[in-house]
Structure formats: C-alpha cells, structure tokens
Amino acid sequence: MINVNLPSNSYEIAIASASLDQLGEQMSGLQLGKKVLLVSNPMIFKHYGEKAIASLKNAGFEVASYNLPPGERYKTFNSIQKLYDVALENRLERSSTMVALGGGVIGDMTGFAAATWLRGINVVQVPTTLLAMVDSAIGGKTGVNHPHGKNLIGAFHQPRRVLIDPEVLKTLPTREFRAGMAEVIKYGIIWDAELFTQLEASKHLDQLRYVKADLITNILTHSCQAKADVVAKDEKESGLRAILNYGHTIGHAVESLTGYRLLKHGEAVGIGMVAAGQIAVELGLWQKEDTERQNALIQKTGLPTKLPEGVDIEAIIAALQLDKKVKSGQVRFVLPTQIGAVTVTDQVPTDTIRQVLRGLH
C-alpha cells in the first residue's frame, strides 16, 4: 500500500496481482454509499467489466455501468454530458461513487464527471494501462479536451482509492505498454535512482508484464511512490510538481506538431527526455555518461530516440515560444543533474536547444 498524504483527502494506492477481484472488498472499507457507477469502454469492459461488477456486487454495492466510446477523440464535454445523464437515471447521490475502469482517457473523464456531479462525489480509479497506473490515476487531475486544445477543461479531484492489478496489463498492446514505460523511466531520472538501476538490470523491458509478476509489481510500486511523493508535496501544482514534466517540454511540442496522431504521448516524452538530457550536458549540469545510460534505457524499451521525419526544428522552437506565451513566462526546462535528481530552469539559450535538436534529426 502506498499512501498519498494530503492535508484533507489522503488515499491509498493498492498494488497487487489479481486484485481486481477484491475491488468491492477494498471499497467496503471506505465508508462509501451503496450506489456505484462503473465507467469503462467496450473493449476494456469486455475483458474486465464482469469481474469488477461481480466483486462490487459481492461486497453489497448496487452497480450500474456505462461504456463510453474508446479513444482520445471522445475525451470531450459531450461524453461528460452522457455520464451526467446516466448519473441522473441511476439517481447517484452525494455519497455515491464512480469507478473508472480504463486508461487515462476513461480515468480523466470519470474523475471530472465525479468532480462536478452534485458538486463532487467519490471516485475510485482502477487504471488498466501502464500510463494510467503510474501517472494519470494518481494526483487528482481530471478533465476533458476542448476542440482547440488538450485538457483545457478540468478540475482537481482526488480519488478515494487507486486499485492497480498488474494482471490487466497482459492484454495491453505492446506499443501502449512501451509508451507507459517512458513515464516509468522518467521517475527513475527525476526521483528514484534505485528504480533506474533496476530497469537497467532488466532484460526485455516491454515483455515484463508477461513473465515476472514480482518485477512489474516492484516497478509499479516505485513509480507510484515517486508520483505520490511529488503530489503530496505539491497537490495543486504550484512548484515541485513541475518536475513531473521532465521530457515534456519538447515532447509536447513534437506531439502537437505531429497533430497528436503520429506519436503516442510516451513516445514523444522519450524523445523529449533524450533532448533534455543532452541540453543538461551542454549546460554542464549533467554527466555525459549518465545521459548515455538514460538513452540506452529508452532504446532498450523500444521507444524512439530521434525526431520523426519531417518535423522541422524551427517549428519546434516556435511551438516552445508559443507555449511560453501561453504561460506568460520563459520556456521552462526540467534538467537532470544526476540520476534521481533534476533542476528546473528557464535559462536555456535557444541556440543550445537548436543545436541539440539538430543532433536528434
């Protein structure tokens, strides 16, 4: 059990193989009302929906379920409206609970619906992608996209419990798993050197979920602990939480320039980490050998380490500037100083960025 320590709404992250069967039991201890709305998508529901519902019913909950269509494309206010309709039909009350069974898309939407229905009801996160397990299900950021920008609408709403069953990763496509591994590697660099060395020592990083239950559980535990530590120190993102954006400055620019279609988020973050690592070396902040270790790990996971063809370097620089204007400040980089520690700086010369990006072409 990992505790996310917050002033008024602490909660636990439970990580254990085959724990989906204990969902109802775990929720029984939280003093929740009887009514539960399970939110998923048809594919995930087909694999795990019945199991989750059976466990909830066994524990005495009254369960309704609803499947939203799959994909980031449906992470819209329209889907939230659907959830409100279902909440109304099923007469969800202040004490009721929404359970998100899915990846980050389902988790963000269910969290947002729960944050706003009746000014806030309970939400329990049951993440089914690696990214959702180590990142989006923890920390309380919820929301949907606006036609003109990602995650523009949202709220902070912490879950009452996060239940992680590594077994569900067995059905996750390899590309999704690898993309999640980018965030895992991120935690190794920004926070947890032990996690980093453990990843270095593991072969077949993208196959872990099939072969070694102990190892994947351990890696999940370290990653979730890293996120929990950072969130506990900075719940509403006023300072420290910025370090979670390691690899995301250039990552986001590349994602948006390729229309959010070519690359998975984690793939863009992988490229962004390679770039940030090299920038740190150029600025004399980080050892060259450590960047090489980082890059070897990204490569071993099967993630890209070069910019996709056709992405123009000046376009990336322009996208960074645009982002800076939006945030009314400087372009902010999270840069490693050693494995397990980073610093945040807005003093990176544009020429250094340009030079490093040239090396990634």
Ligand X SMILES: NC(=O)c1ccc[n+]([C@@H]2O[C@H](COP(=O)([O-])OP(=O)(O)OC[C@H]3O[C@@H](n4cnc5c(N)ncnc54)[C@H](O)[C@@H]3O)[C@@H](O)[C@H]2O)c1
Q: List, by residue number, the catalytic residues.
A: 119, 141, 183, 227, 237, 241, 245, 248, 252, 265
- Report helix, strand or coil for 15: strand
Query: CB–CB of 125/107 below 8 Å?
Result: yes
Whole-angstrom Cα distance, residue 173 to residue 262?
16
Min dist CB 237 to ligand X, Å, is 10
Min dist CB 319 to ligand X, Å, is 18
Q: Which is nearer to ligand X, 79 or 136 (CB)?
A: 136
- Report helix, strand or coil for 136: helix
Min dist CB 81 to ligand X, Å, is 18
Q: Which is nearer to ligand X, 48 or 286 (CB)?
A: 48
Query: CB–CB of 311/258 below 8 Å?
Result: yes
In terms of Cβ atoms closer than 10 Å to its own Cβ (0-12, 13-18, 19+), residue 249 is buried
- Report helix, strand or coil for 65: strand
Q: Which is nearer to ligand X, 27 or 138 (CB)?
A: 138
Min dist CB 104 to ligand X, Å, is 2
Query: CB–CB of 157/115 below 8 Å?
Result: yes
Min dist CB 308 to ligand X, Å, is 19
Question: Rule CB under 6 A: which residues touch ligand X?
Answer: 41, 43-44, 47, 70, 72, 75, 102-106, 108, 128-129, 131-132, 135-136, 139, 141, 151, 168, 171-172, 176
Q: What is the DSSP string of 241-297?
A: GGGGGTTHHHHHHHHHHTTTTSS-HHHHHHHHHHHHHHHHHHTTSS-HHHHHHHHHH
Min dist CB 87 to ligand X, Å, is 20
Q: Which is nearer to ligand X, 44 or 164 (CB)?
A: 44
Q: Whose CA is closest to 227, among 7, 8, 13?
A: 13
For β-strands 97-102 and 35-40, DSSP reports them as parallel
Q: Which is nearer to ligand X, 12 or 176 (CB)?
A: 176
Q: Which is nearer to ligand X, 132 or 226 (CB)?
A: 132
Residue partners of 327: CB distance under 8 A and separation at least 6? none
Whole-angstrom Cα distance, residue 48 to residue 63?
15
Q: Whose CA is closest to 7, among 146, 158, 112, 196?
A: 158
